[in-house]
Structure 1
Amino acid sequence: MTQNPMTILSDRPFLTDAGLETSLIYDDQLELPDFAAFTLLATPQGRGTLLDYYQRYVQIAADHQLGLVLETATWRASPDWVARRGLAADEVTRLNRLAVELLTELREQSPTASGTPIVVSGCVGPRLDGYAPGRALTATEARDYHGGQVVALADAGADLVSAITMTSADEAIGIVDACRALGVPVVISFTVETDGRLPDGMPLDRAVQVVDQATDGYPAYFMVNCAHPEHFDSAISADGVGIRRIRGIRCNASRLSHAELDEADELDPGDPAELAAQYLALQRANPRLTIMGGCCGTNHEHLAALADALTAARAATSDDVAAPR
């Protein structure tokens, strides 16, 4: 590991990148069946497209002196989704390795890397549909299914593994178990519906507690992603035992529900400035939130607005501290 992933647990604000797949589909006009961004890793042109995407966020973080977490383009690079693209099972290892190498090389070549801590996160997505998961996996099924991808990401040198858009505590537990067996730091990010609960109905606070209890608190921290701030603001502002473990959010630009987004023909980008203000409101309600980025419908414009807002808030706090009493 080139970067100590635990630097992310300091009080320093960290950005993440935005909605990789929706950005590539709607901004770059690419065809990505199943949201399978990993297919771009197979060609020099595709890797160049991914680099262009990631470099925007490196620059935003550097310009604002913020840390940065970059997720590999592997949310769909697990066995079932790779097979749906007509690829052999052994491509899982190769694609995940390429994804990590792309980001570690970007970090090494970036002239801003020394002043902007960059954490390379190996991204793992749900086995089923993140919006309509259907049958829930048991923890054992999840560990067995995701284990190969976790090994590939860890062997390639990812600083940590992030399980993004998790729809149930059991699948999250299985991924944590796979990471724990290797001694790899892991982050769990749950998605929630408009009522602030997981798709299976479990309250967010309870889901975090269930994972922690089953894994002896192994996850480095928890996140919420793929939901608009208004969908979970009351849940994340509560003072629950599980909520205290949530350090990051990656929000959708749209207020639409998952079901509505599934049926939508056009992207709803929302308002970047309004979304940034909502992030800051969530942070004021829960000061533990230091890791912020985007999900569906967001791009570099949303993250630039968020970075501006974080910088302004930090400057205002510094002025308050420096002002005579």
Structure 2
Amino acid sequence: VKGNNDMLSITKPSVIDEIHRQYLEAGADIIETNTFSSTTIAMADYHMEDFVYQLNYESAKLARKACDDYTAKTPDKPRFVAGSIGPTNKTASLSPDVNDPGYRAITFDELRKAYKQQAEALLDGGADILLVETIFDTLNAKAALFAIDEIQEERGIRIPTMVSGTITDASGRTLSGQTAEAFLISVSHLDLLSIGFNCALGAKQLVPYLEAVAPQTHFRISAHPNAGLPNAFGQYDETPEQTAEQIKEYLDKGLINIIGGCCGTTPEHIKALADLAKDYKPRKNT
């Protein structure tokens, strides 16, 4: 189980609780659950498929308790739990075998079932929002969004849903080949809380993609970039001040409604962003 950080929610809950509280103390309004890989598909690598409901439920409960404690201290500043739904380690649009381009390691329906189980457990544990994030294949995301829609119909509720894609490199496209504009169009038929981008790139590199989608949608726009690009050891050297200075461009241009951080962003990074953002108004939806 080495590398399975999601299981810390049930094996070392105090560690995850402390991390949540560090980010809330730094000024976060929304914290994510520790469930990026908590689907039966991703957990199959660890033979932990049977623990998926527990992982998501307990992770959401941990984040819920931390948020409620901080909201009780300052009721005028409510905190929210976003249930993290990652892309899984399989893709519905691409073949993992270069010699067999027609092959798919997963079907849409298998993804839908896995995402539905995850989403139900996150909601049962107290998540306010579902965050379908780090989307490199929009077909995977559509399976998640289809599952969320099923739950909305079955439970008679509306689930605030954030969608966040990943532009993988300077090509300006997701791994499955979509531009930022195409990504937006492919999910625009849904009733979303927000659409945006996270991971892979630093704050500065995200600017053109935010500029591409912001004028084209009535959705709120989110961004949670990495703290720059990783060094040779996979670590992130960008300081909180450097990250905040780059994100100031988003705010000056009125590009975003929700700002946060992905890989390499510490509580100190979030504090710098919160201190910066408090002097700005959110982007006006078109």
The TM-score normalised by the length of structure 2 is 0.82
Q: Does structure 1 residue 172 correspond to structure 2 residue 141?
A: yes
Unaligned runs of 5+ in 2: 97-103, 153-158, 282-286
Aligned match of 1:279 in 247, 250, 255?
Answer: 247
Question: 1:243 deviation in Å?
Answer: 5.5
Residue 238 of structure 1: SS of its match in structure 2? helix
Partners of 1:233 and 1:42 lie apart in 2 by 38
After superposition, the C-alpha distances for 1:74-104 in whole angstroms (9 at most, x for unaligned) are 00111132232232x2310011100111111
AA in 1 matched with 2:209: A
Runs of 4 or more off by more than 6 Å in structure 1?
A: none
Of structures 1 and 2, the one with the larger relative CO (CA 8 A, separation 6+) is 1
The CA deviation at 1:134 is 6.0
Distance 2:59 2:74 in 1: 19
Q: Which amino acid in 2 is paired with 1:250?
A: H
Counterpart CA distance in 2 for 1:265 and 1:129 is 26
Mapping 1:152-191, distance limit 5 Å: 152-183=121-152, 184-191=159-166
Partner of 2:258: 291
Map of 1:90 onto structure 2: 50
Contact 1:209–1:241, Cα closer than 8 Å, also in 2: no
Paired residues of 1:254 and 1:270 also in contact (CA < 8 A):
yes
Partner Cα distance (2:109, 2:252) in 1:
38
The aligned residue for residue 195 of structure 2 is 222
Specify the alignment match of 2:5 in structure 1.
Answer: 37
Aligned to 1:199: 175
Task: Give the partner amino acid of 1:118.
Answer: R
Q: 2:228 matched to 1:254?
A: yes
Partner residue of 1:270 out of 238, 241, 253: 238
Aligned equivalents of 2:86 and 2:167: distance in 1?
15
How many residues are treated as equivalent by the alignment?
262
Whether the 8 Å CA contact 1:223–1:249 is kept in 2: the answer is: yes
Aligned to 2:187: 211
Matches of 1:192 and 1:129, distance apart in 2: 17
The correspondence of residues 233-252 of structure 1 with structure 2, limited to 5 A, is: 233-238=207-212, 242=216, 245-252=219-226
Report what 2:155 is aligned to.
none
Match of 2:86 in 1: 125
Provide structure 1 residue ranges, at least 5 long, that are not aligned to the other structure: 1-30, 62-66, 318-325
The 5 A counterparts of 1:19-30 are: none
Specify whether residues 228 and 155 from structure 1 end up closer, same or farther in structure 2 by C-alpha distance, changes over 3 A only.
Answer: same
Give the secondary-structure state (helix, strand or coil) at the position aligned to 2:197.
strand
**Residue type of the alignment partner of 2:205:** H
CA apart distance, 1:266: 4.0
Contact 1:41 1:95 in 2 (8 A): yes
CA contact (8 A) 2:138 2:183 kept: yes
The 1:203/1:55 distance shift into structure 2, 3 A limit, reads: same
Give the direction of change, closer, same or farther, for the CA distance of 1:193–1:77 in structure 2 (3 Å limit): same
- Cα 1:232–1:91, aligned 2, differ >3 Å: closer, same or farther? same
Task: Please name the residue that 1:99 is paired with.
Answer: 59
Q: CA deviation at 1:147?
A: 1.7
SS state at 2:192 partner: coil
Whether contact under 8 Å (2:251, 2:277) holds in the other structure is: no
